[in-house]
Amino acid sequence: MQLFNGISVGSILLLAAVGLTITFGLMGIINMAHGEFIMIGAYTTYVVQLIFQKYFPGGFSAYVLVALVLSFLITALLGYLLEKIIIRYLYDRPEDSLLVTWGLSLILQQLARNIFGAPDVSVTSPKFLQGNVAIGANIDLPINRLAILAIAILALGGVAYLLFRTKFGRNINATMQNRQMAAALGINTKRIDSLTFALGTGLAGLAGCAVTWIGSIGPSIGQDYIINAFITVVVGGAGTLLGTIFGSTFMGVGNTTLEYLTNPSIGQALVLILVIIILQFKPKGVFSLNSRKIDD
């Protein structure tokens, strides 16, 4: 049961970190507003739930599918516009990107407070996501956690297919590794930048939809995940999906196991100590990627 709790936490981090490994690992943008895109995805789910409760009460359970799609599309669209307006002027300027996106995160949090209020709100899970699945005599696995794990696996598989089995994915890799050569071969690198950033933010919105099934949401919900998501990407290896899997599993299972053996404060401290030790021997992460952005 403790192992499943760790994997469950890791699946949430995986959803949050897959988008971050694209924007940070591949594009080299330190997006401190990534957590706020998680928040936007969560509030999108909340609004969709309210619409279904008011106008489609008979088909309330279907709101989950609509929310999953809209949380991805809305945050992807916002990410696309953000890249067009601000982010494209911050490439190769990591310090500026950190400060600008941090300021943007504060703006988005305040907008959420103005629109939805400061108190947390709750999203009602449909009946098919409630309850537990009995495994053996003493182990009950929550259905909502299993659903999040399934979504994380599907999202990871979709991103892997996109990056390694499609022309668009090959163009992304070519642009991030050698922009000048990619442009010389006819690839519209500016368009690739916009769509890649949109993909990363869209995945953050998908993570936001998923986290509404396990607790209340508020304007600062993204801050609960952004630090661990960054650690996940860095310790696993920025820009690699395999590294993201390792990092999320390490953080999820490591946190829950060490907290169970000690207490929450000591457990988190021990995990950070292990992260420091790993980075001493693997400064680029366990599964490092050699690319133009990282080598620079």
Cβ pair 238, 24 in contact under 8 A: yes
Q: Is residue 174 over pLDDT 90?
A: no
pLDDT interval class at 28 (50, 70, 90): confident
Q: Of the ranges 26-35, 38-47, 56-65, 158-167, which one carries the lowest mean pLDDT score?
A: 26-35
- When pLDDT is averaged across residues 249-255 and rounded to a whole number, the result is 88
Alpha-carbon distance of 25 to 285, in angstroms, equals: 11
pLDDT over threshold 50, residue 293: no
Looking at residue 133, its pLDDT comes to 83
Please give the tally of structural domains in the chain.
Answer: 1
Place of tokens 């809209």: 70
Length of the chain equals: 296
| Closest to 116 (Cα-Cα) out of 2, 216, 247 | 216
206-218, pLDDT tens digit by residue?
999 999 988 899 9
Kindly give, in sequence order, each residue whose CB lies less than 8 Å from that of residue 247, ignoring residues fewer than 6 positions away: 13, 17, 231, 232, 233, 234, 235, 236, 237, 285, 286
> In CATH, what number is assigned to the domain containing residue 204?
1.10.3470
71 neighbors 41 (Cβ within 8 angstroms): yes
| Nearest CA among 9, 7, 1, 2 for reference residue 214 | 9
Domain that holds residue 284: 2-295
